[in-house]
Amino acid sequence: MGVSKKDLSDWDHRYVWHPFTQMKEWVEDQPIFIERGEGNYLIDTEGNRYLDGVSSLWCNVHGHRKRELDEALREQTERIAHTTMLGLSNVPATILAKQLVDLAPSPLQRVFYSDAGATAVEIALKLALQYWSLRGEEQRTRFVSLTEAYHGDTLGAVGVGYSEAFHRFYRPILRPSRQIKPPHYYRWIEGQSADQALQSSIADAEEVLEACGNVTAAIIVEPLMQGAAGMWAQPLGFLPAIQELARKHGTLLICDEVATGFGRTGEMFAVQHENIAPDLMCLGKGITGGYLPLAATLVSDEIYQQFLAPYDRFEAFFHGHTYTGNPLAAAVAVANLEVFENEAVVSRVRDRAEHLSGLLERHFAPLEHVGDIRQWGVMAGIELVRDRQRRTPYDSAERVGARVITEARRHGVMIRPLGNVLIMMPPLSITEAELALLAEVTAEAVSSITS
C-alpha cells in the first residue's frame, strides 16, 4: 500500500495494541508483517515464507487463497456486502443455517448468528438462562464448567472459562461457575492412570451436580479437547458421562465446538465421536474456512419453542449484533462446506491425524524435555518440562515455549505456544510433506533450546 516497512514498524509500535501481548516486550522487537498467503504458507513483506502451523490461530481450514472461497467472497461482494438480519433476511445466511442444521446432531434445529466464538458462547449462556426463566425455573441461574476451560474473552464467557492469570482483574464482577476437575491426568489429576483420572473426574462432576444440579442452567464443555488450557485431551467416555449427568439433573448441555468444529478432530464436530446430542452448540473459528469473523449458536427445537409467545409478553430473545449473519461471511461459509464435501476433507483429516501421530511419536517422544503429547485429529499439544520423570514444569520466566517458537520461525515454521505447551494445529489442507516439515523443524527447535 505504498508504506515503507520502517513506517509500518513505527506505526505498529506507536498505535497498535496487540491481543494477549505484553506490549512492553513487543516494542523491543521488529514485528513481522504478513502480507500474503499461499496454501498453507504465510508470506511476509520481505518475501519470507512460513508454514502456518497454527492455522492463523486455529481458524484456517483449506489453506490461504483457496480459490473456491475467494470466488464466493468476490461473487457476494458484487451483490451486497452487508445488510441487517433485524427485520430482514439474506440469502447466504439462510442457506448456511439449513446446511449447519443438516450437519449437526439432530436435536439442534435453529441457528443464531454472531461474529466471534465468545459471542456464540454469550448467546448460549443467555439463551439457557432465559429458557429456564420462561419455563418457570428461575432458580436455574448457575453454570457448571471445567477447570481451566476457555470459552472466549467477553465477561460472560470469562465467567465460565476463568483463568487466574488472564482474568483476575475482572473477578469482582464475574459470576464464576462451579468447576469440575477435567480428566487430564498429566497435570490436573496426577499420579493416576488415564482411566483412573477419567473416573475421578466423573466422580467430581457427580458431586458438583449433586450439590447444585437443581440451580444449574447448563453445563458447558469444550468437547474432546480443552484447547486453550494447553490441549488437555479428554478420553472417550467423558462426554457421555457428562451428558448423562446433565439429563439426570434436568440441566442443559452446551458444547463449545469453536476450536474442535469443522473437521479438526476427524469428525465434522467433536461430539460426533461419541454421539453426543447437546442442547446448544457454539461454532466459530473454522466456520468460514478462516476467512471472516462469523459464529453461530445452534439451538435445540425444545429451547426454541419455549421462546414463542405473543409479542407483548416480551419473551423474544433480545440479542443481536450489527453484523449478525453478515452475507459476505455467510457466503464464504457456504463455500467452505462445499469444499468439505467436494474434497472429502473429514476423511483426509483422519489420514493426516494418523500421520501426525506417527511424527509426534518419532520426533518428540524421544526428546528429554518432552513430558507429554496430547492429540485429537490434527490438533496437538506437546508439553515441555524441566524434568520428565518428576513432571517438573519449566519456570514461566524462562519463556521456553516462546523461545522454541522463535527458533522454529527462523526455520520457516510459524507456531504459537500456550505457556510451555507447543501447539500444532495446521490447516486441514496440510500435506504429509508439510506435516513432516512442521514436526521436524519444531523438534529441532525444542532440542536446540532445551539442551
Ligand X SMILES: *Cc1c(COP(=O)(O)O)cnc(C)c1O
Residues 268, 244: contact at Cβ < 8 Å? Answer: no
3-state secondary structure string across 118-169: HHHHHHHHHHHHHHHHHCCCCCCCEEEEECCCCCCCCHHHHHHCCCHHHHHH
H/E run at residue 424: strand 421-424
**Between 209 and 283, whose beta carbon lies closer to ligand X?**
283
**Between 266 and 286, whose beta carbon lies closer to ligand X?**
286
**Between 126 and 391, whose beta carbon lies closer to ligand X?**
126
H/E run at residue 374: strand 370-375
Smallest gap from Cβ 153 to ligand X, in A, equals: 6
Sheet architecture: strand order including 178-180: 108-114, 295-300, 280-283, 252-256, 216-221, 142-146, 178-180
Smallest gap from Cβ 253 to ligand X, in A, equals: 15
Site for ligand X, rule CB under 6 A:
116-118, 121, 150-152, 222, 227-228, 256, 258-259, 284-285
Smallest gap from Cβ 333 to ligand X, in A, equals: 14
- In this structure, what C-alpha cell is assigned to residue 241? 458421562
The length of the chain in residues reads 451
Distance from C-alpha of 263 to C-alpha of 51, rounded to nearest angstrom: 20
Smallest gap from Cβ 398 to ligand X, in A, equals: 26
Smallest gap from Cβ 170 to ligand X, in A, equals: 16
Residues 200, 192: contact at Cβ < 8 Å? Answer: yes
Smallest gap from Cβ 285 to ligand X, in A, equals: 6
**Between 121 and 337, whose beta carbon lies closer to ligand X?**
121
Q: Which residue is nearest to ligand X (CB)?
A: 117
**Between 414 and 443, whose beta carbon lies closer to ligand X?**
414
**Between 113 and 394, whose beta carbon lies closer to ligand X?**
113
How many other C-beta atoms can be found within 10 angstroms of the C-beta atom of residue 399? 17
| Phi, psi (rounded to 5 degrees) for 80 | -160, 145
Smallest gap from Cβ 278 to ligand X, in A, equals: 13
**Between 116 and 404, whose beta carbon lies closer to ligand X?**
116
Return the SS3 of 367: coil
The b/e string for 404-417 (b: 16+ C-beta within 10 A; e otherwise) is: bbebbbeeebbbbb
